[in-house]
Every structure is written in C-alpha cells, then in structure tokens.
Structure 1
Amino acid sequence: MPLSTLIQRSSQPSPALSEAQAHALLRAHYDLAGSVQSLGSQQDLNLRLDSDQGRFVLKVCHASYAEHELQAQHAALAYLADRGVPVPGVRPALSGDALLAVEVDGQPLRVRLLDYIDGQPLTRLKHLPTRLVAELGALCARVDQALASFDHPGLTRTLQWDPQQAQALIEHLLPLLSDAGRREQLAQVVRQAGETLQPLVAQLPSQAVHLDITDDNVVWRRDEAREWQLQGVIDFGDLLRTWRIADLSVTCAALLHHAEGDPLRILPAVTAYQAINPLDDAELRALWPLVLMRATVLVLSSEQQLAVDPHNQYTRDNIAHEWQIFDTACQVPAMLMEAAILQAAGRQLPALELSGCAPLLPELAGQPVSRVDLGVLSAHCEAGNWEQSGFDQAVLAAQTGAACSLHGQYRLSQTHIDRPDEPATCALGVELKVPSGSVVQAPQDGVWQRLGDGRGVLRTAHWSLWLKGLDATPDDGQGVSKGQTLGTACGFLCVQLCRDTALQPPFFAQPSAAAAWLALCPSPQALLGFDCDAEPLPDAQALLARRDASFARSQKHYYAEPPQIERGWRNYLIDLQGRSYLDMLNNVAVLGHGHPRMAAESARQWSLLNTNSRFHYAAIAEFSERLLALAPDGFDRVFLVNSGTEANDLAIRLAWAYSGGRDLISVLEAYHGWSVATDAISTSIADNPLALQTRPDWVHPVEAPNTFRGRYRGAESAADYLRDVDAKLADLDARGRQLAGMICEPVYGNAGGISLPPGYLRDAYAQVRARGGVCIADEVQVGYGRLGDYFWGFEEQGVVPDIITMAKGMGNGQPLGAVITRREIAEALEAEGYFFSSAGGSPVSCRIGLAVLDVMDEEGLWQNTREVGGYFKARLQGLVDKHPLAGAAHGSGFYLGLELVRDRQTLEPATAETMILCNRLRDLGIFMQPTGDYLNILKIKPPMCTTRASVDYFVDCVDRILGEGL
C-alpha cells in the first residue's frame, strides 16, 4: 500500500452508526436484541451488546480495510485459542458468514460479532503493580511465541502502527503540531531513535504480531484476594507481519503510562518476555528506539484524529496519557535504557576499552591511597552525623595522606526521609583527597570543554571524563593530547567516566537504576592506578535463603521479599542501599533507633560488668525504685525479666500462688505471649489460627469488648459485655472452682488500639476480687506513655490492677521486662521456691532501662506522643471521613489503628485490601503491617520521637493509595 493510502486510512473518522442502526444490524443479521454501549475506538466502532443470549461485541470498520485483513484476524483468533491463549470467539451471522459487508447511510462498512470477555482493562488503573507489568510482558511473549508459525495472506498490509512505516508517517504528521517547541522535540527524538535503529534493521526477525498488547486490550478480573487475574486478549485490529520486537515495544510504550515518570518501571516486562521467548541482541537494542517511535506516533495520530474527528471522545480521553507516555520515555537517556534493557534480559554492554591510557594522576603512582568507607555500615557514620552538609568531604579531609571514596558504593549521606522516591545513593564516580597542586593529565586524546568553577569534561572518541576541582585548565574547546596536563588539583578532585560522550551523567543514581548507570559510568580505576571500587553488596535473596534454611519457619519475617535492614536512626530504618523507611510499627524502639545514649550506656556497663541479679550492684536497686515511682500507690515490689512473655508468664504464676486457684479469665482476640502459659491465655487467631480450639480447661475466654465490630457497639456497651464475664464467673462458682484472676490489656491491642468501654474493667475487677482473684494489667504494648494522655493504659479505665506487666519499650530494644505488684502477692511465690531470671535485671539491662526513662523525660517524648499523637488521630479520622474503605480510626497517642472495611454497615473486613495497602506503603518507603483477627487493621505504633512531618507523610501516602483504588 503506498504512503498516500496509508495517510488516507489513518486520517478517516470512525464510522457513523446510530443506536437504532446498530439494533437493526443485530436483528437482521444475528437475530439478537438487547442494550448496546459504546466501548470506544480511534477509527473503528465497537459496541457492547447485552442480550438474553449473552454479551457480545459488534465491531464495525470502514470497508477500506480489506476483507482478507479481517479474515486474518479471525484465523489468528482460532489459532491462538487452540494454543491456550484466552481470546474472544467469532460468532457467525445468520448467513453463516463471519464477516459482513454492509452499507449504512452511504458508508460501505464491514461488520462482525465477537464474544465479549468479561473483566476490565487496566488503562485507568492509577498504580500498576510490578507483577502486572511482568505479566503483560509474559503475555506478549506467549502470543508472539504462538504466532511465530502463523501465516495468512491478510498479514501483508500497510498499517499506520507498523514501526516500519513510523518515520514516514511521523514526517507527514509532524506539521500538525502548532507548538514549535514540541514539534522540534519530537523530531529530535525520532531522528536519534532512527540513527540507533537503522544499522539494526537487517538483523530484526519478522513474524505475525498482535501489535497492541496493552493495558487497553488485555482484560482482567480481581479474585477474592484482590489480585488481578488475566481473562483474555482482545482487539486484533493491528495484526500484521512485521518485526517481532515491535510487539514488545508496543507493550512497553503502553506501560509508560503507568510508570509514574520512571521509564525503568517497564523492565520487569522485558525480563518476563525474555524468559519465555528470548530475543537476540539486535532486537534488545532496537527495543527502546521502537518505544520512542511508538510514543511519537501515538501523540501525532491522536492529534491528527482530533483534527478530522473532533467529537471522538475516545481519542480526546486518550491524548493526555499519550503525551504522558512520550514525556516519560524522554525522562532518561536512550543509552541508559539500552543498558537497562540488556541487563533485564541477562546481557551487558561490552566493557569500556581503557587499556593504553596515560595515568590521570601521575604523581600518585605507587603512592598509598586510603579507601574511605562512606556506606550504610561505615564506622564514620554515627548518631545521624551523615545528615550534616558536606559530611563525605569532611571524612575524606580527615584522612592522613591521599584518600578516595568508592565507586559504586551506596552512600548513607545521600539518603532522604519522608519521601516516596528512592534516594540517589549510588556513587557513579570517585571523590579524591590529593595533595594540592597534583598534576592532572589527559589519559587519552580528546577535546576539553571548560564548564567553570574548576569543572570540565574531556571528550575522547569513545568516552568522556568529567572532572571537578581543577586549577589552570586548557581553553574551552581546545584539543588535548594523551599525557597533556589538564590542570592541577585543588586538594579535592571528583572523577567520573561516561561512555556516552553526549551525556552529562549525575554523580549519584537511584538503586533501581544503579546497575544501568554503572554500565554507562564504569569505574575510573584503570585511569587512577589504584583500587577505588566498592565491594558488591551481599545478595539479599541469598541471605534470605540462608535464613530460611537455618531459622525456624514459624519465626516469620515481614514482606515476601524484605529489604535488608542493617541500620536505624530515630524513626527510620535504613537498608543497605541507603533508603530510609519510615518505621510506623516498631513499638519496641520508644526512643527511636540508633540512640547514642543507648550505645553509650550499654558500652559503658559492658566494659564494667554484666551478670545476673543474684549479685549485688547498684543498678538493680535504682531501676526498681524508678519503676515503683511510676506505679500507683501501694505497689512496692518489682520482678525484672527479659520480655513481655516472661512478664505475663510470671504474673500468671503469681496469681496462682496468691489465690490458690488455677482458673483465669482472659479476653478473646488478645495476645499475651509465646510460653506455654501465656499462649494458653492468648486467643488471637491472627497469631495462632487454632487458638480457640486449643485452650486448656483453666482458661476461660470472655467476649471481646470490641466497641467497633463486636456484638455490642459504642461506648455504652460495658454492661452488655460484662454479662459474659458474669456468666463465666457464675459457672466457676457453680463448679466450686477457685478463681486465680483476670488478665486483660487495658487498651485492646490486636484490635488496633480500641479503648475498652468505660466502666468495663472497674466492674470486672470488682467481680474478680470478690472471688479472691487478682487483676493483671498487660501493659506490654500500651504502657510507658505510649497512649499519650495516660502513662499506663489502666488509667484510662480509672482502675488500679494488682499486677502490672511491662516490656517492649522499657529497654528500647534491649531485652527487658518487669512485673510490678504488691508485697503480699510477690511473697506468695516464695512458697514455691525462689524466682530467678538469668538475664532479667542484669546490670546492662538496668542501666539501659534507667537511661530510657531519662531520655523520655529529657527529650519530652511522652509530651510528643500526646501532642503529635493527637494530631495523628485527627488526620486518620480525616481518612475515615474521605474514604469508604477506611472504616474507623482507633486508639490514641502513638498506639493507633486504622480499620479497613468493605461495607460500613456490615463491617466486612477488607483483609486483602489491607495487605495490598501495606505492600504499597513499603514501595513508598513506609513499613506498616496489619493486625486484628481479620488482618484488616493498620497497626500504627511508631517510635515516640515521631514527628508531625512523618505523620503527614504517612497519612498522605495512605490517602494516595486509597485514592488509587484497592
């Protein structure tokens, strides 16, 4: 087909067909009736028919599409269906023909009817998970693999979307753009893409391809876990024979609409395609130029279509995101994408040839150069000093003699906080401390470009060398010879290589793009003459495999593919690539991570003594006195243990010893620990799915007083829930069994921090005490001021327990727990022998425990929890007011929960959505996990140093994700 015909076809509007005319066609040729709905198309007309015989798609196109082209589509549908690819079937007309030629209002048209595949495209999905990106690439590979042996006369056609026609079509359509700047931008992109593509064309294999496997033309449906599942591939209107790689280029171009400005997000599609239907090097190198061509054709075709068919709403709706595709494609250098695509397919750019170069710093030849570690685990980094401006340079300056930073190292100084984007932490060059006046010479012939401020670039035939920190450089544009002096170093010198001579590379790269950037900016070690390369990071997945091979599987880890966390600072956790994650769930680290006071106290005490509490030392008396000063009047005895489990286990023993009974009242949906006794009283099915079936006969769970989703709702429900307490106690009375006591979290932890209804503990405690039992307040999670308005959780209920158990934040991560009680209860245990915890109350633990209390006071963390926590709760309530999925905000201070429900009336838990939300938050740099028996509550318990800025970031991200649709 000549270009003129191509242009004519690409310029025609969609067929004009009224609803009445569509109904007439369906009745006359298919004996079908029902409602019709437009599905949209750029140049065809697609109508969905809902009839009593099922759903179908009526496809109408201009007769300029030859009959054999449409027959090729039908043959391909049958061919793919036989090979297991989910595609629509073709429904023949009453005449038996699959393809009809009709005329409507003087328009010669071609008509056919296809099965409708239920589901939805992903076009308007605001966030496309990596799994779906990979699945689209894999689907493209499977279709191409199946079509490799398919042939039909109708495949030989000239189509505006065929990349072999792209440059001619673009040249014709470019004048349509009235914006001269945009017009020149498109022309330059196409020119550069064409220069890369031209030498590869002869090596590109051809076959039948779909050429439109995009988010528009693949249909999905969500399963019960809210995961998208493929239903089918539709719209074979672009089927033809062309380069095989063209199919993947179309898929990748469409994915750019979902890439959030980062073209490298398409790489999982390349990896998935390559695993199924391997591409050769020429195809992989041609992929990105073809994506750029496709993006250009998309915007120009839409601009042209609007010019000839201004009322085409489908085109009008699409043009904005087609410009977004083009702009995203232009965000990174083409050579970077080539390197990234090759790496995604398991290939690499060839090594840069640097042999025979003159040394850059001849005076350093043979001299020792210190390698300076500026990575995440560097000993130079402590107490947040890396946040100071110029930190890296200050560390280099402090070295004796010449020193260098490390190429390819992820630097802690480059991290950032409370932002969704990865920090650019990977060093693509080297910083040197060298003697002032050191000669810097040209390693190879080239042209010097002076950039000012001691900066410049030497451009050679095959690579460029970027330098910063020079005096007395050559004139701008001057040719220099190998070994010629480029200047003298000012004391600090930045050195960076780049194989793309037209590109000025960044000095740091984001971890997700680091491998590709390092291929473009290789190590300058060959020019420097000494080792300046960072050691590669350990393989996080291999380390995880080692963990799984040796660490018992019941000890779970967060996330399927967790980042390797090796450092923390304040309310952030930092992975080995320098990304700082906002920690919204670590209620152990009340002071925050990496607190210098904790390091100093533990180091100091370890250097003196660490032993068990049967020895006599000052710290144990001092810490016990501090704890009693925090407890209500009448509490005068302390036991020190290692954990909340040990504290609750000991509390049970104390209740048994003091009361003489064994029976305990516990509350459903609660968790108290992992020992035999504490597991027995724990009834949370989220922690133990068999919890309710495996309780021993001395444990008597009572109905959970959950005022949000329990049987009785609201703050006035205490009496209703107390009836179950009364019933359990009456049953014990009737059987003549002595009650040992009741254990309860004063604030309902696993339910997301829900307060108990007012009066519940007051009346329950009275009933328990009347029977000689003791009242145990499990403060392991809520105590120590985490609630903000109260130091102890039981204060909210206006009661005083008999035993207080505490752990978690007492040691800011140091194993430390306590049981606080009265003398008569404590001494009741002596009849069973003495109590001893090997490490409970050790000198190190006591000193750290004292320091935690000191820091909480000195840094105003309880006040911060009260003030910022109140602000936090208000912002969470704002989410509830805005998003139907956010059912309720629970808790106070920094003990909060956001409960997700699918229905505000039935309170159906949004379990799958909550997990998707948590995983998406991790993508945005936030650690969060679900809680509750239905795992539908965000468990929000951050360090008590958390700031308003972090609260805003967290809530804004949850708002964003809920707005994306879960």
Structure 2
Amino acid sequence: MSNKKNEACRMPLTTLIHRSSLPRPDVSESQALQLLQEHYGLTGTVQSLGSQQDLNFRVDTPQGRYVLKICHGDYSPVELQAQHAALGYLRERWLPVPGVVPARNGEQLLALTLNDQPLRARLLEYIEGQSLTRLKRLEPRLMAELGEFCARIDHALADFSHPGLARTLQWDPRHAPALIEHLLPVLVEGPRKARVQAAAAEAWQYLAPLLEHLPQQAVHLDITDDNTVWQRDAQRHWTLQGVIDFGDLLHTWRIADLSVTCAALLHHAEGDPLRILPAIQAYQVVNPLTEAELKALWPMIVARAAVLVLSGEQQLSVDPGNAYSRDNLAHEWEIFEVATSVPFALMETAILQAAGHDLAPLGLVNTTLLMPSLDGKPVTRVDLGVLSEHFQAGNWQQPGIDQQLLRAQNGLACSLHGQYRLSRTHIDNPQEPETCALHVELQVPSGTALQAPFAGVWHASVAGGGCLQGEQVSLWLWGVVDAPADGQALKQWDALGQSCVGLTLQLCRVPGLCPPLFATPSRAQAWLALCPSPQPLLGFACEAEPLADAQALLERRDASFARSQKHYYQQPPQIERGWRNYLIDMQGRSYLDMLNNVAVLGHGHPRMVAESARQWSLLNTNSRFHYAAIAEFSERLLALAPEGMDRVFLVNSGTEANDLAIRLAWAYSGGRDMLSVLEAYHGWSVATDAISTSIADNPQALTTRPDWVHPVMAPNTYRGAYRGEASTADYVRDIDATLERLTAQKRQVAGFICEPVYGNAGGIALPPGYLQQVYGKVRALGGACIADEVQVGYGRLGEYFWGFEQQGVVPDIITMAKGMGNGHPLGAVITRREIAEALEAEGYFFSSAGGSPVSCRIGMAVLDVMGEEGLWDNARTVGGHFKARLQALVDKHPLVGAVHGSGFYLGLELVRDRSTLEPATEETAALCERLRELGIFMQPTGDYLNILKIKPPMCTTRESVDFFVDSVAKVLSEDL
C-alpha cells in the first residue's frame, strides 16, 4: 500500500471522455455461440446479461455454466491481464471469485474482430446465485456482510501489484472533477443540474485537504449489490457466494472501494443514509481505516453519486436501447437524492462515531455567560422525558404542552438538552419521531439582558431569532428583542438584546449549518456531537441524564431472570410507558401494540389508576374476609354468563382458571381422564401444561403427556386432516374413537376442554356443530365440558361476547382471564352450583390475589369502561373493517394463505404454497421483525410459527388498523 501525494489528479482527458462515451459492443447471441465453439470447443445456449459498456453472456453447456465477457478493443490487454492475475491471487487466498477458463490455444484473453469491431473476449467460471440489486431494502446484517467482504478483498489486495493497474478509468474518484465537468452538459439547465454541480463541488471541497493523507492500493472498485452473488439457505437467509466483475480493478485510494460499496447501498436505505453505517462498522473491524479515510468517505460517496447519474445519463444518450442502463439510472438518481439529503458534517460525524472515533470535545473555556444577571439564581429543571411525572393520561399529545409545563414553574426554569421528549412522539407512523432535543428552552424574566458570550457576527434569521457566528461555534437564539442588526460584528460582552419570557438557544460547531431543534434517535448521537450543550453559556445544569444502556439492562435480565421466561425480539426496545393501543420506548417512539389482549382498555387507562389507588388506600386482602366488592363483582360476572350458571371462583390468571377447571371436572365426574385438542395451549401449571399440546409453546408437548390426558385431532378447518365446514363428522369420529377406547378400558371420563374458537391457530372457527356433538357425547359419559375463553372471550370476538356462542352451546365450566383486569392479575371460573360444590369434598379453595378487594374493583371498572367507551361495539365494527382489509391481502400477496377469526382476535396465516400449505415460518419471523422496525409489535404463533395472531387492545382505531395492514402489505411487497 502506498501513500503518494495526489497531484490534482491530472489525466489524459481525451482518453477518459472516449472511454465514458462508448456504447456496448454489437455481438449477437449466435455470434457468441460461434465464438464459444471455435475458441473453447463449447456448445450450448447463451443468455445476455445486463451491463453498461461491456457484453456479458451466461453460457449453459453440458460441461457447466460460464460467463462470456466481451469488451471493446480499446481496452489494453494488460488491463485485462491484471484482472485475471487478481482473480488468481484472491483464489489462492480462499476468497470466492470466479476462475478464468483458458481457450483452446491456452490463452486467457482473445483478440477478435466481429462486425468490423476490434474486441477482446474471455471466459470465466459462473458463480451460482443472484444479485441483491432489486431488493427494495437490505437488512443491517446484509449491509454489514457486504462491508466486511469489501474489507476482506481490500486486505487481500493490499500487496497485489500489476502493470495493468495503472490505467485511466472513469470510475476512479481521482478523476471525478474532470469527468463531472465534462459530463454536466448531458443534463438540461435547471434545479437538477445545479444540485449535481453544487454537491460535487462541496464534496471536492471536503476532500481536497485530505487527499495527501489517503493510502493507495489495488482495489476492486465495484463490490456492490449488483456484483456480489448471493443465495438463500434453508432458513431463507441470504448468504454471500462471491464477487464478480473485476472490470474496474485499478490502483487508487483504498477508501474508494468502500465508497463504491456504500454508494450502492444507498438505494436500499429507504431514504436514510445512516442505514449504511453497519457496512462501515463491519469494514473497520476487518481492515481498519485511518481518520483521514473516514473523513473522506462521505464526500467520496457524494462524488460517486454525481458521477453515477451523469455517466448513466450519458450512456443512455449514446445507447438508448440499453435496458440495463435505463433501469439502473433510476437507482442512480435515488442514490444521489439520498446522498444529498443530509449535511456533510452530520454524515462525517456519524461515520467517525460508527468507527469508534468521537469528535474532540468543544472547549468553550474563553466564553462568558449569556445572561449574567441570572448567575447563581435557582433554576428548575423541567423533566419532559418519557417517564416524566408531568405526563399522564395522554396529556403529552396536547399542542404546546412542553411550553405550558415550563410556564407553570415558579421562577427560572429550563428544559433539558439531549432529552428524548415524550411530546414529540407520533402514532401510526413508520418513521422514527424526532424526539431528541438539541436545544434548551428557558423560562426567564421578560427583558433579561443578553450579552455576546464570545466575539462573532450576528446573522438575523427570523423575527426574534438569529445566530451569533463565532470562530469555534455558532449560537442560535429565538425569543430575542432589540437584537443587533443583521451582519453586525460583536465583541465579547457586547449587548445581544433582551429576552422574551420564553428563550430558546442552541449551539452548533459547524459554521453556516442551521441544525434542527430535534433529532431522531438514530441520528441523535451524531447531532449531539455537532450541537453540544449550552451549559457553559448559562452557568447552570441543563443537560439530561444519559439513558441507561438498554443492552446492559437486557444482560442484567438474562443474568437474573430465568431464561425460560423469554422476551420478544433478540434486541427488544426498552418499553417503560404505554397509552391506549401504543407502547412507548425510552427514546419516545410509539409502537402500535397488536399483541396485547391483556390490556383490553388500552395502556395507562386513568380509570385503572384511580380505581386501584383508591382501593389500595382503603384495603387489600384475601377473599376469606368479608367485603362488598367480591359479592358485587361475582354478581356482575354471573349476569354475563348463560342462564343456569350461578357460581363464581376468582383466581389470578388463565393458568390458574384452567387448572381449577380441571380439578372441578375431576371432583364432579369422579374420574381423571381429560380430552383436549391438539395444537392448543391452556397454561403453565402442571395440570394445564399436561393438557396443552402446542409444540410452539412446548416442543416436548406431544411426547410428555401423562396417561390421564387424551389429545384428540385438532379441528382445524384450514390445515387440519379434514378441511372446510363439511369436516365436522370426520373430527367427531376421532372423539368417538377416544371415548370408546376409554369406555372399553373402564376409565371414567372427567371432561373435555377446548377453546371454542381455535385461538393458538389464529382464531379459526371450529367446524359447525362440532361442540354440540362433542359436549353431548362427553356429558353422556358423566364428564364436564370446559370452554377455555381466556384468550378469545369477554367480547373480543366482536360478534359474540363468549366464543361458545358461535357454536350455539353452553359449557359446564367457563374459564376466563387476560383482559378481565386490563393487566392486573385476575381470572375467573364460572360454573353451576353442583359442580362448584363437588370440590368441597376435597377442601376449601381461595386465591390470594384473584378475589382481593383491589382485584374485584379493577374487574368491575374494566366492565364499566368497556361499556362506557363502547369497546365491544368497537371490536365488532373496527374488527369487521380489520378483517376485510386483511382479506384483501390474500388476492394481492401469494404468501398470505388465509385470514381467520373475527373482531379483535384475528389470524393471518402465511404459506409458501396454497395447495400444500407449506408454512412460511422464516418469512413470518422476518415479517414480524420488519414490522418492529416500522413501529409495530407483532409476533408469530401456531405450531409452525407461521401465523400472525392479532389481538390488540380493544380501543384500537380504524387508523391504527389501516396503518397495520398497509405496513404488512409494504413488507410483503419486499423480498422476504
């Protein structure tokens, strides 16, 4: 690797212009076949591959698959020989690159003339796979893998040399200024041309002082999504197979290679250039870059973007029939738009930070106070963050709430620099909210004198605002009266005017840059480095405490909390607040909650706060004491139950409810043998785990059943052994066979437990009449019929309050929990007197939390709110809209096999083949992970983990439903 000073990058401009203006060679497929037969002794078929200035053919022969490459005779043989040498050099180092296939005469490079065109041809091995060019987005892992691979190639080529590397190439960034100047006329006069010209000039202005510090070596210069080959493994993960197309190989700045890779990634970045940072981080680990290279990277990317669009426009003008060039041009303009969407200083800072280089602290040692009259006076620091006690019941959604809270303080008050503000969150939006405050807002006495804390020039921007530009830093102020005239030079301590009651100030260390007041969490670290705290100018603390390290917290959880208690996502956001159907992380992002069937009323409901606080202040004890709430709540529950049910047990969870139901069935029947359906989940206790057969919840479920549990065929009308509504008799036959076997063995049937709507499968309705027949057969043998309504009941289905109503039956025992307490531990069992009293022979029963005064009051409040806020009606109307919108996905996206359920208990089942119903397990996991990135919580379920079980809070709105379905459609249109 060399480190030679670049001398203005002079070059033979005529050669470069000629090279950049060449169309592709004119060679037909039949001529390519003739060439292969004559020079390589190969016969087969050829298929043209896309390229800009060369011709590439895929060759399929009985001997194997190859790539025939044909270029203009203008290319010097030594350049092509350098490529062949590099391929051999890299193959010796076990890097995945194609080999060169010699012709019959032993030569690797052929000189030919076809159609009066001097050409050069060679044959390479074919690497099986595909490029990632057409993927709309690349996940961070793939970006990192591409960056790492670029580093591996560069590291290997560091000691490679060849005479053919000294070449003139239009993609060499050393020639970018001359090439851009030459190609600019290809664009018509207008804003687009002006932007390209300005971006290129700014890029070179940044690069110029760095050039002499940039190491040089042999580089591939085209390690992109288009020139790397990938395949998917059995888990649908993309794996890198190799790199092709060494046509841009030359000796230039090392950092140029990574700049090309990163520029290509910009059209997979969904408009956010910081998405490329994983590629830079991965490169840095393998092949560390110097600080000069890191600073040069972004301007080199921008220059590359300018060259791409100009070269693309030029190539299309000389070769308008080149579909490859035409298609690529759209990507190239996208790359340019993304590359010019952020300030150079922001990207430079973000890149340095990603590589482990923080900006040096801004030393403001020679500054004075902005408001010296306030020195030493007490200042109230107003917490406007996610956990602030000032925020409750969604009041952060009120316009201007932050300023109201500041004005409400007595005396001096300030907001906190670097704090993630809750008021800046937004809902039903896939974009990150701009929550991180890069400024400080003050509540000060009106007319407080302001003085220049350092010498500079005042630039008025808007009425009451402006910027004092100093040598080290800019001070932005809003809320100033009697400010200096625009352009006035000020000395330190000169008057800056007077403050209004509300004063906002912000520092920025980049001259001429007007920073935003808020930054998104992903950009916050870089912006905070550019916009440091103004605390030295204020004389009092105005900085927010840094957020706790979420990863360290997760490690503490894993170190102390039993691992079998899993968490959602590998890298879960830290959720500390909720409101209605949203969960909010510590950086102020609101996630649409499509999982939480526990919080039926929504998160943070004020009625729950008030009800629990009041009862806790009075009494909380167990149900063996006498108090009014337990009788009142029991009566409320019985009023919801079918006629004939007259006894209530209160417990603290669905598991406890189902466990108790089993004991009741045992006591009532005198037997122990229970029937339960396959693929079902009923709880985690010993008894409920025994009757649970969902292998998604317990992989050993089918092999660890005790002999008193008798699983019966899952009545799954979509993917079960028998399908469709006509399958009832087939599934009932399986029940008959089980009951006949138990009767023959003289075993007393205790009962049958089943969700009346198949919850774990996404809310699939049971076959018509299934429960009527099964209940009759079980009861005829003295058993009890248990309806597990824990997930599906209590009004969530919309059309039915209880799931068993859909089947037109009345069970002997109803179990419920989940939404009964809106997150408070509360469950219930409802049954008839004779069944309830059968348990007395085994002793008394109580649940410490289930029947407590607090639990009962909360349970009644949930029922009150559900009625007052029309949540059951909402489940029916909005749930109906929800299902219709999901159903429309079936017609548009082959991966969507079916939509199940009703109301706010819905299932979206993903399959790879609608005939075989092969479950799309990996795609479903990728969909859920992608939805999290878009601001939605969703998880896979079902035995094959290929179902979205959609069970949101029952206050969910049509707007949230539309956001969810639109987001699912967006992700399904991407390549999962």
Under TM normalisation by the shorter chain, which class is it? over 0.9
Deviation at 1:31, TM superposition (A): 0.9
Q: Say which of 739, 758, 761 aligns to 1:751.
A: 761
Amino acid at match of 2:349: A
Specify the alignment match of 1:119 in structure 2: 129
Q: Which residue of 1 aligns with 2:584?
A: 574
Q: Which of 368, 371, 395 lines up with 1:358 in the alignment?
A: 368
Code of the residue aligned with 2:378 in structure 1: it is P
Which among 343, 348, 355 is matched to residue 353 of structure 2? 343
Describe the superposition over 1:435-456 as per-residue Cα deviations: whole angstroms up to 9, x where unpaired: 1111111111111122233111
Corresponding residue SS for 2:212: helix
Q: How does 1:837-916 map to 2 (within 5 A)?
A: 837-916=847-926
Q: Which of 729, 732, 735 does residue 722 from structure 1 map onto?
A: 732
Match in the other structure for 2:542: 532
- After TM superposition, give the deviation of residue 790 of structure 1 in Å: 0.4
2:4 alignment counterpart? none
The aligned residue for residue 528 of structure 2 is: 518
- What is the alpha-carbon distance in structure 1 between the residues aligned to residue 954 and residue 874 of structure 2? 7
> Within 5 Å, which residues of 2 pair with 1:609-758?
609-758=619-768
Structure 2 match to 1:478: 488
Report SS of the residue matched to 1:844: helix
The count of corresponding residues between Structure 1 and Structure 2 is: 966
The partner residue of 1:275 within 272, 285, 304 is: 285
In 2, the alpha carbon distance for the partners of 1:376 and 1:524 equals 22
- Which deviates more, 459-468 or 139-148? 459-468
* Aligned with 2:779 (options 759, 769, 772): 769
Q: Which of these residues, 472, 475, 478, is aligned with residue 468 of structure 1?
A: 478
The letter for the 2-side match of 1:482 is Q
Inter-partner Cα distance in structure 1 for 2:551 and 2:62? 53
Q: Deviations over 1:663-688 (max 9, x none)?
A: 01100000000000000000000101
How much has 1:361 moved relative to structure 2? Answer: 1.2
Alignment of 1:449 with 2:449, yes or no, is no
What is the Cα deviation at residue 461 of structure 1? 2.1
Q: 2:309 touches 2:332 (CA, 8 Å); kept in 1?
A: yes
Deviation string 1:592-613 (CA, Å, 9 cap, x unpaired) is: 0000000111111111111111
Q: Which residue is equivalent to 2:502?
A: 492
Secondary structure of 2:725 counterpart:
coil
What secondary structure, in the 3-state scheme, does the structure 2 residue paired with 1:692 have? Answer: coil
Map 1:786-797 → 2, pairs under 5 A: 786-797=796-807
1:175: which partner in 2?
A: 185
Deviations 1:385-407 (A, max 9, x none): 00000000011111111010000
SS in structure 2 at match of 1:225: coil
What's the secondary structure of 1:805's corresponding residue? strand
One-letter amino acid of the counterpart of residue 588, structure 1: V
Q: Which moved more, 1:587-596 or 1:479-488?
A: 479-488
- Per-residue deviation, 1:277: 0.6
CA distance in 2, matches of 1:46, 1:462: 54
2:100 aligned residue (90, 96, 101): 90
Corresponding residue of 2:332: 322
Amino acid at match of 1:703: M
Residues 408-419 of structure 1: pairs in structure 2 closer than 5 A: 408-419=418-429
User: Deviations for 1:22-60, whole angstroms, at most 9, x for unmatched residues?
Assistant: 011000011111111111111110010111111110000
For residues 613-637 of structure 1, the C-alpha deviation after alignment (integer angstroms, 9 at most, x for no partner) is: 1111111111111001100011111
What SS does the corresponding residue of 1:789 show, helix, strand or coil? coil
Tell me if 1:3 matches 2:13.
yes
Note the alpha carbon deviations across 1:858-911, whole angstroms, 9 max, x for none: 000000000000000000100012111100000000000000000111111000
Paired residue for 2:810, among 786, 800, 814? 800
What are structure 1's unaligned runs of at least 5 residues? none
1:242 to 233, 238, 252: 252
CA distance in 1, matches of 2:728, 2:342: 61
Structure 2, unmatched stretches of 5+, are: 1-10
Q: Hey, what does 1:16 align to over in structure 2?
A: 26
SS in 1 for 2:702: helix
Q: Distance in 1 between matches of 2:463 and 2:837?
A: 77
CA distance in 2, matches of 1:608, 1:462: 61
Which AA in structure 1 matches 2:890? V
SS in 2 for 1:716: helix
State how far apart, in whole Å, the 1-side matches of 2:735 and 2:258 are.
Answer: 65
Measured against aligned partners, the alpha-carbon deviations of 1:942-961 in whole angstroms (never above 9, x if no partner) come to: 00000000000000000111
Instruction: Between 212-221 and 299-308, report the one with greater CA deviation.
Output: 299-308
Match of 1:292 in 2: 302
Deviation of residue 65 (structure 1)? 1.1
- Residue 570 (structure 2) pairs with residue 560 (structure 1): yes
Partner residue of 1:306? 316
The 8 Å contact of residues 397 and 423 in structure 2, kept in 1 or not, is answered as yes
Residue deviations 1:185-216, cap 9 Å, x none? 11211111111111111110001100001110
Q: Give 1:214-229 correspondences, 5 Å limit.
A: 214-229=224-239
Query: What's the CA shift for 1:177?
Result: 1.1
In the other structure, the counterpart of 1:57 is 67
**C-alpha displacement of 1:471:** 1.1
**Residue matched to 2:443:** 433
Partner of 1:163: 173
Question: For the residues of structure 1 that align with 2:747 and 2:317, how far apart are their CA atoms?
Answer: 88
Pair 1:814-2:829 in alignment: no
Report the counterpart of residue 508 of structure 1 in structure 2: 518
The alpha carbon displacement at 1:836 in A equals: 2.0
1:965 positional shift: 2.4
> Identity percentage over the alignment?
74
Contact persistence 2:29–2:48 (CA under 8 A): no
Amino acid at match of 2:350: A
Q: Distance in 2 between matches of 1:481 and 1:718?
A: 90
Could you tell me which amino acid in structure 1 is paired with residue 470 of structure 2? Answer: T
Task: Measure the CA separation in 1 of the matches of 2:140 and 2:338.
Answer: 17
Match 2:398 to one of 373, 379, 388 = 388
Distance 1:944 1:185 in 2: 50
Which deviates further from its counterpart, 32-41 or 22-31? 32-41
CA distance in structure 2 between the partners assigned to 1:90 and 1:604 by the alignment:
81
TM-score in terms of structure 1 length: 0.99
Q: Which amino acid aligns with 1:245?
A: I
**Structure 2 match to 1:204:** 214
In the alignment, the residues of structure 2 paired with residue 81 and residue 616 of structure 1 have an alpha-carbon distance, to the nearest angstrom, of 83
Residue 180 of structure 1 deviates from its aligned partner by: 2.9
Corresponding residue number in structure 1 for 2:164: 154
1:693 aligned counterpart, secondary structure? coil
Give the deviation of 1:963 after TM superposition.
0.9
What SS class does the counterpart of residue 363 from structure 2 fall into?
coil
One-letter amino acid matched to 1:757: P
Within 1, Cα distance between the matches of 2:948 and 2:376? 59
